[in-house]
Amino acid sequence: MADEFLEFDWEVSPGGYRWVQATSALAAPGETGTAAPKPALVRAGPEVIGPPPHPEPALFRIFAEVNPNKESILAFANRYGDLGIGITLYPAIRDPDDRPGPARGTFLSVWRNHISDMRRLVAVWDLLQAGDRERLARHIEWNKGGPEGLAVHFNSHPTAAKGRGLSLGSERVRVLIASRKESPELLEQWDVDDPIGPAWVYLQHAIDEHLHHAAAEIASGMAWDAKKN
């Protein structure tokens, strides 16, 4: 039903979290070509189930504002939990209280990538809500003579030399939204140089990609309401 809400439940470690230097299970100690240990966030204390965090309707904004350093990420995790996409890790140095065997956690680089993604998507959402066509046009690039024919891309970091303005997120993302070869039916819906329609489609596809990984057991995604546009 369109009016139903899908809730995501996750756990917060009662003992909090801590940073360790670790390698992933894909490069376990002793294997040839093992990568150097990298910072990763793991549970502190015993592996027990804690209560779910207090509901925060604007958690996505809180997350987008997290400074991508160890201290700020740790403070966020201690209150709201890990990202929920932890992998098997091998700590380089074990705490005396650690149980034997591998741990589960999330690399610092993954945290930073997701914070950057959230900042970018929240910024696009806010520009769409404000109807800010001028600023959106800096990131929605229409190309009329490239190898793809008529095409429109999203660019988080438009070229500063062209005076196209600020970046969205800390990492550059350039994505094809539609072209004569890919999703030509979308091009038929938009006027050339229109930033609004392509920005909505970019936002929808980016959120759907994250939902696909977060809710693999239940198909979830954004749907366009043609009546309300």
DSSP 8-state secondary structure symbol assigned to residue 94:
-
Query: What's the domain range around 138?
Result: 131-214
Q: Is residue 2 part of a domain?
A: no
Q: Is residue 157 part of a domain?
A: yes
Whole-prediction pTM: 0.83
What are all long-range contacts of 185-189, with beta carbons under 8 Å and residues at least 24 apart? Answer: 187/150, 187/152
User: Are residues 65 and 144 located together in one domain of the fold?
Assistant: no
User: Are residues 142 and 206 located together in one domain of the fold?
Assistant: yes
Q: Is residue 225 part of a domain?
A: no
- Amino acid present at 175: V
Q: Quick count: other Cβ atoms within 10 Å of Cβ 110?
A: 17
Q: Is residue 114 part of a domain?
A: no
Q: Is residue 201 part of a domain?
A: yes
Q: What is the pLDDT of residue 115?
A: 96
pLDDT tens per residue across all 229 residues of the chain:
445 555 666 788 888 999 999 998 765 455 544 578 999 999 987 766 666 777 788 999 999 999 999 999 999 999 999 987 788 898 887 766 666 678 889 999 999 999 999 999 999 999 999 999 999 999 999 998 777 789 999 999 987 545 555 788 888 999 999 998 888 899 999 999 999 999 999 999 999 888 776 665 666 777 777 677 6
Q: What is the pLDDT of residue 204?
A: 92
Q: What is the pLDDT of residue 32?
A: 40
User: Are residues 156 and 94 located together in one domain of the fold?
Assistant: no
φ, ψ for residue 94, nearest 5 deg: -95, 140
Q: What is the pLDDT of residue 96?
A: 63
User: Are residues 157 and 90 located together in one domain of the fold?
Assistant: no
Q: Is residue 10 part of a domain?
A: no
Q: Is residue 120 part of a domain?
A: no
Q: What is the pLDDT of residue 161?
A: 45
Q: Is residue 221 part of a domain?
A: no
